[in-house]
């Protein structure tokens, strides 16, 4: 009986020893693998730089200011002003943040409160994100089609001291012709169409603010 117990104790010790040795080898192999991987990663970053520092990646930015004439309310002409912040990737791809608002007073009284005697002026704003591509970026004249989508708001004061407001969606496809005057200055002209959609506010419909616009602009920055 003692012999059997001794044999069992010896087998258990041998099993624990073998398990410990195997665990040690596994840990050693893992350490070697991790060390080799870290070395490869270190060597790789010396030859392949991060995305924003890669030789094929070029990042520039500019500010744009524009003014134009277009259909601001039910096909009636008015003035628009706007500005944009633009990120240019590899001189061709552009991501832009746009803001636009009419500078002409828009009287919506006949549509929203026809029985009201005083004018009701509309405040209309648009803000959106745009993506575009510049053709012939290294020439004197460039062409830039753009698609912008975002948020449009309409707000007017009626009755007195009470604001009525509605938030809508809007999509603006546009195309610009650009004169590349200097490495830091651009000017040009464009044509766009603003499509506004959403529920009506009293008698004011979203489509009443849709229409075609022409504009001129200048841009300052790096390209």
Q: pLDDT digits over 206-219, tens only?
A: 999 999 999 999 99
- Based on the domain organization, do 42 and 76 belong to the same domain? no
- Considering the domain architecture, whether residues 169 and 208 belong to the same structural domain is answered as yes
Q: What are the tokens at 24? A: 């040690």
CATH number of the domain bearing residue 69? 2.40.160.20
Identify the pLDDT of residue 189.
98
pLDDT confidence bin for 37, thresholds 50/70/90: very low
Total tally of structural domains belonging to the chain: 2
DSSP class per residue in 180-219: EEETTEEEEEEEEEEEEES--BTTB-GGGG-EEEEEEEEE
Q: Which domain holds residue 13?
A: 2-48
36/58 same-domain check: no
- Going by DSSP bridges, is the β-strand pair 141-157/211-221 parallel, antiparallel, or unpaired? unpaired
Over the stretch 142-189, which tens digit does the pLDDT of each residue have? 999 999 999 999 999 988 778 899 999 999 999 999 999 999 999 999
In the predicted structure, residue 54 carries a pLDDT above the cut 90: no
Asked if 144 and 43 sit in the same domain, the reply is no
pTM greater than the 0.95 cutoff: no
87-113, pLDDT tens digit by residue?
999 999 999 999 999 999 999 999 999
* Average pLDDT score over the chain: 83
In the chain, DSSP assigns E strands to 59-73, 76-89, 93-102, 106-107, 121-133, 141-157, 163-182, 185-197, 211-221
Residues 119 and 86 placed together within one structural domain of the fold: yes
Residues 62 and 168 in one domain: yes
100 plus 170 within the same structural domain: yes
Q: What is the pLDDT of residue 159?
A: 83
pLDDT band at 56 (very low <50, low <70, confident <90, very high): confident
Contacts of 144 (CB under 8 A, 6+ apart): 94, 132, 133, 134, 135, 175, 176, 177, 178
Residues 44, 69: one domain? no
Tokens of 141: 């004249």
pLDDT for the residue numbered 46: 45
- d(C-alpha 129, C-alpha 97), whole Å: 5
Do 42 and 120 belong to one domain? no
Q: Is 183 found in the same domain as 76?
A: yes
Mark 18-53 as b/e (b = at least 16 C-beta within 10 Å).
eeeeeeeeeeeeeeeeeeeeeeeeeeeeeeeeeeee
Give the β-pairing of 59-73 and 121-133: unpaired
Same domain, yes or no, for 147 and 179? yes
For residue 33, pLDDT beyond 60: no
181 and 72 housed in the same domain: yes
Residue of 153 and 40 predicted with greater confidence: 153
């Amino acid at each position: 009986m003692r012999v059997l117990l001794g044999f069992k104790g010896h087998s258990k010790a041998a099993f624990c020893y073998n398990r410990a040795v195997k665990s040690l080898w596994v840990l050693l192999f893992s350490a070697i693998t991790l060390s080799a991987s870290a070395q490869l990663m270190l060597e790789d970053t010396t030859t392949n730089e991060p995305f924003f520092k890669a030789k094929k990646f070029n990042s520039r930015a500019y500010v744009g200011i524009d003014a134009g004439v277009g259909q601001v309310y039910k096909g009636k002409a008015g003035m628009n002003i706007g500005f944009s912040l633009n990120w240019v990737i590899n001189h061709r791809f552009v991501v832009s943040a746009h803001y636009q608002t009419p500078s002409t007073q828009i009287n919506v009284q006949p549509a929203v409160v026809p029985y009201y005697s005083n004018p009701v002026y509309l405040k209309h704003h648009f803000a959106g994100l745009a993506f575009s591509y510049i053709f012939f970026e290294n020439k004197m004249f460039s062409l830039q089609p753009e698609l912008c989508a975002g948020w449009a708001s309409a707000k007017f004061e009626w009755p007195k001291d009470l604001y009525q407001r509605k938030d809508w969606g809007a999509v603006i496809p546009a195309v610009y012709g650009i004169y590349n005057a200097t490495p830091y200055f651009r000017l040009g002209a464009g044509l766009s169409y603003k499509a506004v959609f959403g529920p009506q506010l009293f008698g004011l419909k979203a489509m009443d603010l849709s229409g075609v616009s022409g504009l001129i602009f200048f841009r300052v920055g790096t390209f």
